[in-house]
Amino acid sequence: MKLPKSKTTHYSLPTNHSSGFTLVETIVAVFIFTIVMTVAAGAILNIISVSRKAQSLSSVINNLNLAIDTMSRDIRFGTEYVGNRCVDSICQEIRFVNKDGAETSYYSDNKQLFKKTTVSGAVNTSVVTAKEVLLERMDFYLTDATGLIPRVLFVGKGEVVSKGVVLSSFDIQTTVTHRTI
C-alpha cells in the first residue's frame, strides 16, 4: 500500500554567503598577535641595548689602545729614564726626556692615566685615558735604565665602566724598548 504523498512546505532562513571571521576568531587572532609582538619588541629592545653597550665598550677600548700606543711611542723614543714613587723596583711613575727634549712623565692617579710634560718651566698635565676607563693600578718596571738598551715594562689592571655598570675588566702588559732612530 502506497501512502499518498503529502505536500510539505519547507521554510528556510535566508543565508548570507559573505565570507569573514567571527568576533571570537578575531579576538583570539588579535590576542596572539599582541603576545608575539610584545615578545618581538622585547627582543629588539634587548638587541639595541646590547649593541649600544658593545659600541661603548669598543670606543673605550680603542681609547685605551690609543693611550697605550701613545705612551709606548713616547717612551720608545725617549731618553734619561727614571722611575718615581718606587717600591721594590715597582714604580708608580716613569719620567724621561721625550724626543722633543721635554721632560715627560706618565703616572696613574685617581684611577686615571696622566701625562705631564714640562717645557721651559711650563707644566702641562693631561688625562690620557677616557673617563670610562678606571685603572686599579698601573705599574712601571724600569730595566737597564742607564745601559745601552733601556726597557720599560708597564702592567695595568682596570675596568671599563659606563653609567655605573662595569662593562669589562682588563689586564694590560707591554714592554717598550728604547729605540734610537
Tell me the domain boundaries of the chain: 27-177
What's the CA gap between 36 and 111, in Å, rounded? Answer: 46
What's the CA gap between 174 and 16, in Å, rounded? Answer: 83
Each of the 181 residues of the chain gets a pLDDT tens digit; together they read 666 666 666 666 666 656 788 999 999 999 999 999 999 999 999 999 888 888 878 888 888 889 899 999 998 888 888 888 888 888 889 999 988 889 999 998 878 999 999 988 889 999 998 888 889 988 898 887 666 778 888 898 999 888 888 888 889 899 988 776 6
Model pLDDT, residue 106: 92
Model pLDDT, residue 116: 94
Q: Quick check: pTM over 0.85?
A: no
Model pLDDT, residue 32: 95
Model pLDDT, residue 1: 60
Model pLDDT, residue 56: 79
CB 80 within 8 A of CB 96: yes
CB 131 within 8 A of CB 120: no
Model pLDDT, residue 4: 62
C-alpha cell at 171: 689586564
**C-alpha to C-alpha distances, 13 to 10, 52, 60, 143, nearest whole angstrom:** 10, 64, 76, 104
